[in-house]
Amino acid sequence: MPIRAKFGTTALVAGAFAVGIVVGPLVGAWAQEGGGRAETYRLLNLFGDVFERVRAEYVEPVSDRDLVENAINGMLTGLDPHSSYLNPRGFRDMQVQTRGEFGGLGIEVSQENGYIKVISPIDDTPAARAGVRPGDLIVSINGTNTQGLTLQEAVEQMRGERGTAIRITIRREGAERPIDMSITREVIRPQVVRFRMEGSDIGYIRLSSFNEQTDAALRRAVTSLRQTGGQALRGIVLDLRNNPGGLLDQAVQVTDDFLEQGEIVSTRARRNEDAQRWNARAGDITGGLPIVVLINSGSASASEIVAGALQDHRRAVVLGTRSFGKGSVQTVMPLGPNGAIRLTTARYYTPSGRSIQGTGIEPDIEVRATRQEASAASSQREREADLRRSLRNEGGVQQTTNVPPPPLNLPAGIAERVLREPAEGAPVLDLTRPETDFQLQQGLALLRAMPAGTNLQRRAQR
């Protein structure tokens, strides 16, 4: 899911090309500014030559629109894993999705080595109930191999009318053979915020994505938990595991809910004048309660903005395993009736100046969900740095001085009591049974070990 930001300065130009308008004079002006006008014209002539030969000689007739749309998508997907072309239908689907409702299976996907890779199944959707897991590779859809399909084409095939079935074949790390699944499509209205009391003293909140409903739902959850827990409420667990991200403005608002002041996130684009910065306003909706944030390799993008800001400000203890490492901003630029392009336009940075692109957020306390998760090979398969053409990590404080977050403000010995992995013979992880969720249980134990009134921010150097 893209992070939405407000740049949009090149939408008109891209729109002109997409509808087939002659752009020679305009392109020539650009090329003249860069000193390579003749070379630009030569390359445009090459494109035109290939276009005409395919129209005339390809074994079957092909429409001009298909050729141009494929060329545009190839131009964008060749840049990085997150830039792409959205045809009109795909653009409408994306708009519906960011509003918090869409049709299909309920999975967030990317593309890797020609296959469709699952970033995360969305809670309580057909894909999640069927057992689809983060890191699964979708190798066929209804018997058709996914190699050669664009990401958008694969998504369109997986979407469809409610009640219709789809067959997918997945390849899973550690599985001896491909796994076939038959899944019935539904209208997906993911409950982006789930919450409950853990015992009588800890509030648990899970954010599954960042769409237009997230911040309002989070505020309702915190209000409910504070009313239920009353004076006995001693802390909050904010679960961002397998949250693939979403809208930048929602990540900013969610972070702002827990901070009284200070920077939340900044972005740096190609031009210095396009840099942006967001700061917190006074008002912590929890009243300063200690927070533990849970992350894992499926926590990406907007999730990492929240975790990184709360970590840098020492507003929360981040617990779990290293996050996905998507530190780039995608801007959706409408092309009128021709859809839109989703273009990577900036990198984002945590308040201390860290870029997490390709590196992810390192937890304050590493806790693995299972003993098998200790395998470096397994964990490496599910991160941004392993995607083809992923952006380099550059320009952040981390590149030059490796500035860590401020030290944890915990009473002596408390962090050391947290167990790093389940014991031999521990129950198999079943997220429908909180008692089997080892990372959650360690987060609860950490909060309960803190003396009442613990202020995680007291020693932070701001």
Q: What's the Cα-to-Cα distance from 239 to each of 48, 316, 441, rounded to whole Å?
A: 51, 12, 12
Q: Indicate which residue of 140, 297, 299, 301 is catalytic.
A: 301
Any alpha helices (H) in 123-259, and if so which ranges?
126-130, 151-158, 214-229, 248-258
Q: Helix (H, G, I), strand (E, B), or coil: what is residue 256?
A: helix
Using CA atoms, how far apart are residues 339 and 350, in angstroms rounded to an integer?
32
How distant, in Å, are the alpha carbons of 363, 427, 457 from that of 405?
10, 34, 12
**Closest CA relative to residue 118, chosen from 182, 57, 47, 169:** 169
Helix (H, G, I), strand (E, B) or coil at 446: helix
312 catalytically annotated: yes
The CA–CA distances, whole Å, from 293 to 241, 288, 377 equal 9, 15, 25
Show Cβ contacts of residue 2 under 8 Å, excluding neighbours closer than 6 positions. 82, 94, 330, 331, 332, 342
- Find the length of the chain: 462
Secondary structure of residue 439 in the 3-state scheme: helix
Which of 312, 328, 355, 364 does the annotation list as catalytic? 312
Exactly one of 326, 328, 390, 437 is catalytic; name it.
326
Which of the residues are catalytic? 301, 312, 326
